[in-house]
Amino acid sequence: MASEPHQANSPSIPVETFILIFEFIPLPEHLSNLCLVSRLFYQEASRILYRSIQLLPRNSDEIHPLIPFHDTLITSPNLGTLVQSFMINVNPVPRYDLLSSVLRSLPNLRQLRIHGSHDNGKLPSDMFDGCTFHLDLFHSTHIRFREINQLLSMQPDISDWSHWLHNYDIDPIPDHILPNLHTMNIPALLLPAFVNPRPIRRLKLLFIYTTGRQELTICQTLASFNNALTSLSVYRPDSFATLRRLNMAHLIQSIAEALPDLQHLDFVDMDDCGLEKDGVRNLALISGALAGFKSLRTLLIDPKVLLLGRTQLFQKTLPHLADTIMSTCPSLEVIAFPVVHKIKEIISYSKTSQGAARDYRPPPFLHSESWRNF
């Protein structure tokens, strides 16, 4: 008899169906409400609710969400085993000992993202002591490299690493750190720190305050990654420009010499350092530099680099740009131009059987983060 109320309240729909429905519920508060319906709903909804945790305070006046989350894990430690992805903003964090305690409570964590402060960038040296998780992905911003060095040495399975450095004064990175890396997003100045190359297939380099001499060193280092690397994204915005950078054609040529077998390349946000005032000559120089790639299939390039900032010429000029570049880079199959001020809109061209460029609707994966998909 004791089981009859439970049977009466049990759903007639199979549990598997509810699980599928719950997966499509986007808002955490809705999943939280489902947890209050029944034990069955609590079990299935909490599994989804706690799979990915983001502790990002909206302003400095509110209580940091780390505090209630820590209290929840103290009350229900089993919920920590459900967390696979964890993101936190530690600027500010109320107490690092609470964060360390939380991290030790997440044994099945696979993805960790930590956002720090460009004014500080410090973490306690014992922050990750006692952690038993095995990470596949680790992203950090404004955290000094020495602060995460211990974590990286403990996590040989990390395959996706993104790091925005607080500063670039770091020691060489030995072989036992990040040995299985295949996707990396880092400041370009960090690349030469690798003692030996990793099996990286996808790479994004942030050229921040780099000089021409440093850029040449970075390109020379890229050559050691040529055997595995298939996709490269170069980010060199005006806001971080120096007066001594390589001009665009020279930079592209240096990359082509280092990575002749590259298959995907994108220059999404580029400065116009060293561009020729003569647009025709500028296009010829950049096209000639791109000809150094022997296996390049897709190219995503900021049109302002080719149009010298004259964005009003988009519709008339882009087909000519695509034709010119494709004629000098025979392996190229698709060229795409992100529209300025509207980066998600892509104007693309593919090569016809006669070798000319034609309008082309880009596949869904071709966008400013497409370097991760190749």
DSSP track, 165-227 = -S------B-TTSSTT--EEEEEGGGGGGBSS----SEEEEE--S--HHHHHHHHHHHGGGTT
pLDDT of res. 231 = 96
Question: For residue 211, what are its two tokens?
Answer: 């000089």
pLDDT of res. 292 = 94
Q: Considering the domain 50-181 in this protein, what is its CATH number? A: 3.80.10
What type of residue is 191? L
The answer, yes or no, to whether the previous bond of 174 is cis (omega within 30 of 0) is no
Domains of the chain, residue spans: 50-181, 186-374
DSSP string, 275-303: --SSHHHHHHHHHHHHTT-SS--EEEE-H
Max Cα distance, the chain (Å) = 89
What sign does the CA torsion over 90, 94, 96, 97 have? Answer: negative
What sign does the CA torsion over 72, 73, 76, 81 have? Answer: positive
Half-sphere exposure of 149 (CA within 13 A, CB side): 12
Q: Do domains 50-181 and 186-374 have the same CATH topology?
A: yes
Three-state SS at 73: helix
pLDDT of res. 274 = 54
> For domain 186-374, is the CATH number 3.80.10?
yes
pLDDT of res. 166 = 55
CB 115 within 8 A of CB 142: yes
Written as tens digits, the pLDDT of the chain (374 aa) is 233 333 445 556 777 777 777 777 777 777 777 777 777 777 778 888 889 999 988 776 778 899 999 999 999 999 999 999 999 998 777 789 999 999 999 999 999 999 987 666 678 888 999 999 999 999 999 888 888 888 999 999 999 999 987 566 677 889 999 999 999 999 999 998 888 889 999 999 998 888 889 999 999 999 999 889 999 999 887 665 555 788 888 999 999 999 999 999 988 766 656 555 566 777 888 889 999 999 999 998 877 766 654 544 455 677 888 888 888 888 998 888 876 554 457 778 887 765 555 655 545 446 667 788 87
Phi/psi at 334 (nearest 5 deg)?
A: -135, 135
> Long-range contacts for 59-66 (Cβ within 8 Å, ≥24 apart)?
60/92, 64/92, 64/93, 64/94, 66/93, 66/94, 66/98, 66/99, 66/102
pLDDT of res. 168 = 62
Q: Which residue has the tokens 């995460």?
A: 148
